[in-house]
Structure 1
Amino acid sequence: MTDNGPLYLGFDLSTQQLKAIVIQSDLSIVSSAKVDFDQDFGAKYKIKKGVLVNEQEGEVFAPVALWLESLDLVLQRLQEQNTPLNCIKGISGSCQQHGSVYWSHEAEQLLGGLTADKSLVDQLAGAFSHPFAPNWQDHSTQHECDKFEETMGTAERLAQATGSAAHHRFTGTQIMRLRHKLPQMYTSTSRISLVSSFLASLFLGSIAPMDISDVCGMNLWDIPSNTWSSPLLDLASGGSPDDLRAKLGEVRQDGGGSMGNVSSYFVNKYNFSPDCGVAPFTGDNPATILALPLRPLDAIVSLGTSTTFLMSTPVYKPDPSYHFFNHPTTPGQYMFMLCYKNGGLAREKVRDVLPSSESGDVWENFNKHALETAPLDVRKEGDRAKLGLYFYLPEIVPNIKAGTWRYTCDANSGEGLEEVKEPWAKETDARAIIESQALSMRLRSQKLVTAPREGLPAQPGRVYLVGGGSLNPAITRVLGMCWGADGVYKLDVGECVRVGGCV
């Protein structure tokens, strides 16, 4: 391990893990560590896949204390590897998007008074007005989503202002619902952070501002006007927009540079240098964009728990069927994003219905049937094409309830679409779910990409695959067939989001 600086520390606070990576200026990795929430703290916090679920109300949320304990633990694990933390010159990171953390009126004082002889979770017990952070899988806010779109007139007008139509997981609707459900908690809240600004706050020792890209995942930021939306603040706050504006704070416009030096807690406890800077933290999807700067028309597809399709573009063309965000570091650039709840988890549901293989590889039968099934299961002339929709959770695009729907149509013309009342062979679903996800991405991105030649539908240029699903050869092969791009490349960048956070 080198101790020749400077070094940079990046974090990835995802749904199920907290990962840390230390890199050099040339992006080579010096060391890394992780905390798996279920393995390390599952028994204590009663979580499953990193979250708690209230099925009755559609709530999905995480204990904030879990993240505090995980931060101390991941830094301890870096120390155990003899990582030269004193050589780190800058800290940043990426976090799951749309989650929100609610600080008490004592938070600033507690953050500024941390001492090395006690843990974060012990010292910050009184720093939160609400012990839980809503997770992106939450689907409890349909009423609030309806009100957001009614306030702006239509879903199209809401998307024009905020970059997105109203979505369950977006922070503005979550704030509105929690204000109704827990009015005393809302009154007791001094500041509201996104998960990214929450993690940055711990390192700064004071509440950090939200960054210019992650703030676009709230349905509260007016992107063309570059300010908070007054009518939406009024709605979410119940007629007290100035109070909510104060809780949200100012948004940091500059995605680069330092917000200040690291808190003395980390200097005294983990031997960080006092002049180590803390840069803005952002969401996991903006961080992925930063990890691989894209050429025009190229795309990144992250095949994780959810599935996301990302492009960088100088053109602002919002639409209710997808998302636009400000670019995290480059003014005048935007980030186009499609996000599906039913990504990796949905593929796992289809996988788990199939018989287990003798080898013990849980994906073996899924992959076998995905590759052996013909495209759209059209094996011979006259066969009808098979198409499926697999939404085990209420989906984002389209905004639709949970359910599984199967259809057939004419394989040549696409006409005569008919719903299949009885499920077809479960082996067929392995290919059908991959095709369904890929074709949805291609269809919904067509306004921003071009046709390779006349008579063909629009398609992205090059597609770069990251995330756990990118390691699966059957998934990547079928995706490539569906997209018809100039090239589909698997990036062996297990540290992609953390590197993006460092960058």
Structure 2
Amino acid sequence: MAEHASRRCCLGWDFSTQQVKVVAVDADLNVFYEESVRFDRDLPEFGRSQAPPGPASSGRLRLLPAQSAFSGSPRRTRGGVHIHKDGLTVTSPVLMWVQALDIVLEKMKASGFDFSQVLAVSGAGQQHGSVFWKAGASQVLTSLSPDLPLGQQLQACFSITDCPVWMDSSTTAQCRRLEAAAGGAQALSRLTGSRAYERFTGNQIAKIYQQNPEAYSNTERISLVSSFAASLFLGSYSPVDYSDGSGMNLLQIHDKVWSQVCLGACAPRLEEKLGPPVPSCAAVGAISSYYVWRYGFHPGCQVVAFTGDNPASLAGMRLEEGDIAVSLGTSDTLFVWLREPVPALEGHVFCNPVDPQHFLALLCFKNGSLTREKVRDESASCSWGEFSRALRSTQMGNGGNLGFYFDVMEITPEATGRHRFNAEGHEVSAFPRDVEVRALVEGQFMAKRLHAEGLGYRVGLRGSPPKVCQARAENPVPGPGASRVNSADQAPCSSCLPTGGCGPVPSSPACPC
């Protein structure tokens, strides 16, 4: 680490579901430093009962259990979240994120990292999560003492201490009300880029307002996880960026302003609690003096607006107009750069984080790696090598045989079951093993193309084929990052992209990445 400590660099932060992570990137885009804190492993005290916080010099805070916005809050995080008794409500303690940041920064300091060489900080947060700042919190943010960790100073700054995250699906009633106010699901999609979704922040705010009006009234600012993280570095409230803001069911994606109809359907005085949105690449201010004095950051270090994890993926993969990225994970996710979107009832259209005049289409398919693994086990002797050989032994088009595999209720479209059709268009109960493998892969990718075109994607944009960034889970052929694969029977985790990067959610505990 020592020989890299004085490189001029930018810091990229990730406030994800399971961890807080930082990478340092130099002028040539080389990552030369990484550090992280995993919530369940490194902060097991959330939210067990503990003694009051000890001396500041201990470096680790022992916090009392957070009071949730919802009844029946569980007492311990799993995967970084609290899953409540109803099975629908999912939250995370906001102080856990703050304390994780403290720990990462202290690890960097102990390693000799030269903070004075950091030119700018930015990052990403799990999309659709929200943070509710208590009245008076802004004064605390602007007057932080460099002698104390953030977690100790911000304990009383949140009106909702256990906050809803993207896994929450408890707001169906609020979704229906929002769609009705906007003139229907399709009208809401045309306005905000998506029909009403339970995890989207506007519906989460509506639920909190209805169930906990006192806490809502005592909230002076509502942040997304991304703008919350930026606020910690800025020492004041950072605005929501266009791209992450378009995942709230509140932002008019073409005009880049909050929809008055949607705001009114969710909660009163909501616009003043959100503040005006800004472009995703906007520099929102210089870093707080807290970091200058405590860690040695240069006072000119800039804080660039943080965005959501999905928009950050488009920016991080350096996609361009006409490109497609496919992440093959537990759920498959399709990213498409669009100039002229067609918002629909399925999928999402977000503001583009790189070019504010363009858009990002996102489609999520629940039957991803687990479905592929089932077909591998059934038709390829539990071997990715056999799976790959089955693909190579069959022709493109599969002789007209086509299959749709929905082992669990699919998101896009809402369907379940396995449906196989032969070349004559007749439904059949089974395929030969090699045909089954190709039917699965071709059916999944045909669905991705079909729904992408439904959102406005056109193949061969600008007269040339699109580039496709695709994970290698189906075909573990040696390529970038291949040294991580030990044998033909070990597929990389489903989030591994051709760059060799490994996402946070492996397809199985035995993932060789």
Please say if residues 371 and 431 of structure 1, whose CA atoms lie closer than 8 Å, have aligned partners that are also in contact. Answer: no
- Letter matched to residue 390 of structure 1: D
Partner of 2:417: 406
Segment drifting more, 314-323 vs 171-180: 314-323
Partner of 1:461: 466
Please say if residues 203 and 263 of structure 1, whose CA atoms lie closer than 8 Å, have aligned partners that are also in contact. Answer: yes
Q: Which sections of structure 1, spanning at least 5 residues, go unmatched?
A: 356-362, 454-458, 478-487, 497-503
Please say if residues 422 and 428 of structure 2, whose CA atoms lie closer than 8 Å, have aligned partners that are also in contact. Answer: no
Cα displacement string for residues 276-314 of structure 1 (whole angstroms, at most 9, x for unaligned residues): 111110111111221233343221123445432112122
Partner of 2:276: 250
CA separation in 2, counterparts of 1:83 and 1:307?
37
Q: How does 1:69-468 map to 2 (within 5 A)?
A: 69-237=99-267, 240=268, 243-252=269-278, 254-304=279-329, 306-340=331-365, 343=368, 346=370, 350=374, 365=382, 367=384, 370-371=387-388, 386-391=403-408, 396-398=411-413, 405-416=416-427, 437-447=444-454, 448-450=456-458, 461-465=466-470
Segment drifting more, 2-11 vs 226-235: 2-11
Partner of 1:472: 473
Partner of 1:491: 499
Seen in structure 2, the aligned counterparts of structure 1 residues 354 and 124 have a Cα distance that, compared at 3 Å, is farther
Please say if residues 243 and 353 of structure 2, whose CA atoms lie closer than 8 Å, have aligned partners that are also in contact. Answer: yes
**CA shift at 1:406, angstroms?**
2.2
Seen in structure 2, the aligned counterparts of structure 1 residues 182 and 414 have a Cα distance that, compared at 3 Å, is farther
Cα displacement string for residues 306-351 of structure 1 (whole angstroms, at most 9, x for unaligned residues): 432112122132112121111124231111111345656x559959
Please say if residues 407 and 418 of structure 2, whose CA atoms lie closer than 8 Å, have aligned partners that are also in contact. Answer: no
Root-mean-square deviation (CA, aligned residues, Å) is 3.6
Higher relative contact order (CA 8 A, sep 6+): 1
Secondary structure at the counterpart of residue 12 of structure 1: strand
Partner of 2:57: none
Seen in structure 2, the aligned counterparts of structure 1 residues 399 and 472 have a Cα distance that, compared at 3 Å, is closer
What is the TM-score when the length of structure 2 is the normalising length? 0.78
Q: Which sections of structure 2, spanning at least 5 residues, go unmatched?
A: 48-75, 479-495, 505-513
- % identity of equivalent residues: 32
Please say if residues 450 and 460 of structure 1, whose CA atoms lie closer than 8 Å, have aligned partners that are also in contact. Answer: no
Please say if residues 354 and 426 of structure 1, whose CA atoms lie closer than 8 Å, have aligned partners that are also in contact. Answer: no
Please say if residues 391 and 437 of structure 2, whose CA atoms lie closer than 8 Å, have aligned partners that are also in contact. Answer: no
CA separation in 1, counterparts of 2:171 and 2:477?
34
CA separation in 1, counterparts of 2:263 and 2:240?
16
- Letter matched to residue 33 of structure 1: E
CA separation in 2, counterparts of 1:431 and 1:70?
44
Seen in structure 2, the aligned counterparts of structure 1 residues 101 and 451 have a Cα distance that, compared at 3 Å, is closer
**CA shift at 1:431, angstroms?**
8.0
Aligned residue pairs, count: 451
**CA shift at 1:430, angstroms?**
8.7
**CA shift at 1:212, angstroms?**
1.2
CA separation in 2, counterparts of 1:187 and 1:395?
38
CA separation in 2, counterparts of 1:103 and 1:410?
54
| 2:10 is the counterpart of 1:8 | yes
What is the TM-score when the length of structure 1 is the normalising length? 0.79
Please say if residues 210 and 250 of structure 1, whose CA atoms lie closer than 8 Å, have aligned partners that are also in contact. Answer: yes
Cα displacement string for residues 64-121 of structure 1 (whole angstroms, at most 9, x for unaligned residues): 1110111111122222332211110100001111111111002101112222222222
Seen in structure 2, the aligned counterparts of structure 1 residues 244 and 257 have a Cα distance that, compared at 3 Å, is closer
